[in-house]
Amino acid sequence: MSDKTWLFTSESVSEGHPDKVCDRISDAVLDAYLDADPQSRVACETLATTDRVVIAGEVRGPDDVRQHVEEIARQAIRDIGYEQKGFSWKTCAVENLLHEQSADIAMGVDEGDKGEEGAGDQGIMFGYACDETDELMPAPIQFAHRILRFMAEDRKSGVQPKFGPDAKSQVTLLYRDGKPVGLDTVVVSTQHLEGVSQDEVREMVKPYIEKAFPSDWTLPDDKLIVNPTGNFVIGGPDGDAGLTGRKIIVDTYGGAAPHGGGAFSGKDPTKVDRSAAYVARYLAKNVVAAGLAAKCQIQLAYAIGVPEPVALYVDTLGTGKVSEDKLATRLREMVRLTPRGIREHLDLLRPIYARTAAYGHFGRQPEADGGFSWEKTDLADELARSFGASVAAE
């Protein structure tokens, strides 16, 4: 039916959310190792609670980096903006329990006789793209990120100092005929300074809602829900313990596409949990950018110690203009999907990961230093030519 409508919802959390604090610290540790030695192996997990941060995991890299982990953690917390009673970059205890990588794991993933490395673990990874936004991302998650990013920018610059670092957003959009056409409901919960009333917080939030959405999308006042539980002064790890890797749907597609079993943060690119999810997004985005589908979902599957993926599945969700089997074959020809192949194609052995720890790993702009390289659409023209320029031009 041409008038079919539905609602779809996605949420985001700010860089000051307890789980995101942990993601940021884990990725900052990873960046420090990669900066010191691009061949470092890192699997770093962080726990944060009232006045305490615990860092654990397995590493293989320069010994002197481990000596600076406490400093790295404090700097990450400072940059997020935590200097409050119950959790401060100055006074929180930081416990470093990082240790050497297991020899058994190293044996499985180290380079073999053919110059390839095995996958760091078994698992399935998904990538997704769609034509709902300029970034080729689902619209609800992009808007949810945008609200919080705008709020954080003004908090950190001093434009809106009454906001605290901890915040969440949730966006429900109206879809008609498969496309987002308007707003239904927006929920924002934000930490704030003591003494700021709920009405004041609501007025503080409103400009960021207006800024985040298209000017012709209106939101009824009763559909903007701000701090529904009331006071939100105690926030961050003092209000709720955080762990690395607990916001995987926020990190990816907001529930619009599947997610594999693994999180991203704190893992170096030999871990296909991260690198294969990035390349799957890269391939899916290029398929959509090439005009070969309005939506594309890609699944990769790996076995520990085995370089090549055991499976590549392409699903254009009924929007494709070419055979999915042929598309899968062509994608495997264009990008070598071994851990080494992914790493080299996307140039992943760089200290570029702390910036991914908040506001999504996808839907960002590729950066000059190699950050978000998986967001490039440099395969799109070749893909379009492979299946006929007329298809891409339709």
Tally of CB atoms within 10 A around 266: 27
The Cα 115–Cα 366 span in angstroms is 29
Annotated active-site residue 246? The verdict is yes
Catalytic residue flag (residue 271): yes
Phi/psi of residue 30, nearest 5 degrees: -55, -50
Is 357 marked active-site? no
Catalytic residue among 8, 232, 264, 362: 232
206 is in an annotated binding site: no
The catalytic position among 15, 19, 23, 31 is: 19
Annotated catalytic residue, options 11, 15, 31, 45: 45
179 is in an annotated binding site: no
Amino acid identity of 256?
A
Task: Tell me whether residue 241 is one of the annotated catalytic residues.
Answer: yes
**31 in a labelled binding site:** no
93-100 and 52-60 as β-strands: parallel, antiparallel, unpaired? parallel
Q: For this structure, is 17 an active site residue?
A: yes
Contacts of 327 (CB under 8 A, 6+ apart): 287, 292, 314, 316, 320, 387
The whole-angstrom separation of Cα 391 and Cα 297 is 19
Annotation marks residue 19 as catalytic: yes
- 19 is known to lie in a ligand binding site: yes
For this structure, is 35 an active site residue? no
99 is catalytic: no
Partners of 187 in the beta sheet?
170, 225
259 labelled ligand-binding? no
Give catalytic status of residue 134 as yes or no.
Answer: no
The answer to whether residue 144 is catalytic is no
Q: Which of 168, 192, 295, 361 is catalytic?
A: 168
From the list 121, 273, 315, 375, the catalytic residue is 273
Which residue in 66, 149, 155, 247 is the catalytic one? 247
94/88 Cα distance (integer angstroms): 11
Catalytic residue among 58, 79, 131, 308: 58
Q: Which of 139, 161, 306 is nearest to 212 (CA)?
A: 139
Residue 240 labeled ligand binder: yes
Q: Is 74 a catalytic residue?
A: no
In this structure, the number of other CB atoms found within 10 A of the CB of residue 212 comes to: 21
Q: Annotated binding site: which residue ranges? A: 17, 19, 45, 58, 101, 166-168, 240, 246-247, 263, 267, 271
Q: Annotated binding site for ATP: which residue ranges? A: 17, 166-168, 240, 246-247, 263, 267
Active site residue ranges = 17, 19-20, 45, 58, 168, 232, 240-241, 246-247, 267, 271, 273
